A = this chain, B = another copy of it.
Amino acid sequence: MARIALLPAGSVSHEAAVHLLGDKHELVHYKLISDVFTSTANGDTDYSVIPIENTIEGSVNLHMDWLVHEVDLPIQAEWVYPSIQNIVGRKQEIQGDWTTVKRVLSHPVAMAQCTQFLRKYLPHAEQEHVSSTSEAIRMVKNHSEEGWVAIGTRLGAATHQLDVLEPNVTDHDNNFTRFILVGQSPVTSAVESAAKTTMLVTLPEDFPGALHQVLAAFSWRRINLSRIESRPTKRQLGSYYFYIDVELSLDSILLPSAIEEIEALGCQVRVLGSYPSYSSKSWALEQPHNLEV
């Protein structure tokens, strides 16, 4: 059994963590993503669950920057989980009649993802923005008799003993959030996964074509990049580093030689993790994955 640090009970992070890890681990919830990271860095927990793409739970760039500047925790796994939002409240109060709803609470981005449903069924309801979907559900629990409902996760509803009044009210079905699991020990799993390595490449100086030379090292080896992103180094304006994800394990022969070549160009390369990546296709959403950690 591992101790897993993550955002509050009922958050998308919580649903995604249960989905990857099953229910056999001890989940330790924190309000702030910085506290999540810190607990694992200090050894209070074994792993952190961090939303890193398409997320309504904080700033993506900030999370990656923490991983680079504040803590030294390798990425051990990656997975995607759908952002499914639901109308959450108390069935006995609302009774299937949307006109009785006075107020809808949620995180601003979650609310923006459900614009069509809100326009069609709840145009009369007042919209109130709170800091997270789990906070919205927590607040609705104490005010359900006043016609309050929340937009949030199914697990959030269960956590606070509320009902899902309408499932999946998001405008688009293709909202996925990407999560990473960071910690000191590798994970194992019987489920099919793709290999992935995340690197931080700092160019020696800001000269035209430097990035092109770095990518050539991958290109002629036919190594596929699945993400590239430039970020300011914060040391000086106009100085950048790059996150690069490649679809290859560090154990392969090709990748270490590509890294050597990039370092020979005068670049610094820091490997942030070499890990299994679980796609949404490789496992059923209904079934927790029970990753061994």
Contacts and interface: CB of A to CB of B under 8 A. Distances in A.
Given A61-B53, A129-B131, A237-B279, A33 B112 contact: yes
Contacts of A240: 226-227
A184 interface: no
A206 interface: yes
Nearest to A172: B234
Interface in A80-129: 107-109, 111-112, 115, 127, 129
Nearest to A223: B208
Interface stretch (A17-25, A154-162, A210-218): A210-218
A172 B55 CA distance: 24
Contact of A31 (B108, B216, B229): B108
A139 B211 CA distance: 47
A172 B34 CA distance: 15
A59 interface: yes
Contacts of A55: 59
A111 B32 contact: yes
A135 B223 CA distance: 47
B62 A59 contact: no
Tell me which of A33, A220, A237, A242 has the highest count of chain B C-beta atoms within 10 A of its own C-beta.
Answer: A237
Interface of A: 31-34, 53-56, 58-62, 107-109, 111-112, 115, 127, 129-132, 135, 172, 174, 206, 208-209, 211-212, 215-216, 218-220, 222-230, 234, 237-238, 240, 242, 279-281
